[in-house]
Amino acid sequence: MSNIWARKSLAAILEHAADTEKGLKRTLTATNLVALGIGAIIGAGLFVRTASAAAQAAGPAVTLSFIVAAVGCALAGLCYAEFAASVPISGSAYAYAYITMGELIAWIIGWALIMEYALGAATVAIAWSEYLNKLLGGAIPYEWCHSPMETMIGENGQILHGYMNLPALFILLIMTMLLIRGTDKSALVNAIIVFLKVAIVLVFIFIGWQFINPANYSPYFIPADTVPVIDAEGHTVLSYTGFFKHGYGGVLGGAAIVFFAFIGFDAVSTTAQEAKNPGRDMPIGILGSLLVCTILYILFGHVLTGVANWSEFADPSKGKEASVAYAISAHMPGYEWLSTLVTIAILAGFSSVILVMLLGQSRVFFSMSKDGLLPEIFSHVHDKYHTPHKSNWIVFAFVAAFAAFIPGHMAGDLTSFGTLLAFVLVCLGVLIMRKNLPHMVRPFSTPMAWLVAPLGAIICLGMIVAIDVFTLQVAIGWMIAGLCIYFGYSRHHSKLN
Give the burial class of 317: count Cβ atoms within 10 A of its Cβ; 0-12 exposed, 13-18 middle, 19 or more buried: exposed
**DSSP at 238:** E
pLDDT score recorded for residue 26: 64
Residue by residue, DSSP assigns 18-34 as HHHTT-----B-HHHHH
Cβ contacts of residue 331 below 8 Å, gap of 6+?
211, 213, 307, 308
Cβ contacts of residue 389 below 8 Å, gap of 6+?
180, 380, 381, 382
The 10s digit of each residue's pLDDT in 51-81 is 888 888 888 999 999 998 888 888 888 888 8
pLDDT at 302 > cutoff 90? yes
Cβ contacts of residue 247 below 8 Å, gap of 6+?
221, 222, 223, 224
For residue 438, cis peptide bond before it (omega within 30 degrees of 0): no
Q: Do the strands 159-161 and 229-230 form a parallel or antiparallel pair, or are they unpaired?
A: unpaired
Nearest CA to 410 out of 61, 49, 13, 60 is that of 49
* Euclidean distance between CA atoms 203 and 348, whole angstroms: 17
* Euclidean distance between CA atoms 295 and 389, whole angstroms: 39
What's the pLDDT band for 7 if we cut at 50, 70, 90? confident
Three-state DSSP class for residue 453: helix
* Euclidean distance between CA atoms 66 and 301, whole angstroms: 8
Helices and strands, number each (H, E), in the chain: 18, 4
The 10s digit of each residue's pLDDT in 26-52 is 667 777 778 777 877 777 677 777 888
Tally of CB atoms within 10 A around 396: 24
Q: Which helix (H) or strand (E) holds 284?
A: helix 278-307
Cβ contacts of residue 435 below 8 Å, gap of 6+?
none
**350, 127 contact by CB (below 8 A):** yes
What's the pLDDT band for 455 if we cut at 50, 70, 90? very high
In total, the chain counts a number of residues equal to: 497
Report residue 72 CA to chain centroid gap.
14
Q: The whole model's pTM is what?
A: 0.76
Nearest CA to 357 out of 146, 45, 14 is that of 45
The 10s digit of each residue's pLDDT in 144-186 is 777 777 776 666 667 777 788 888 999 999 888 877 776 454 4
The 10s digit of each residue's pLDDT in 327-348 is 888 888 888 888 887 777 778 7
pLDDT at 315 > cutoff 80? no
Instruction: Specify the CATH superfamily of domain 26-493.
Output: Amino acid/polyamine transporter I (1.20.1740.10)
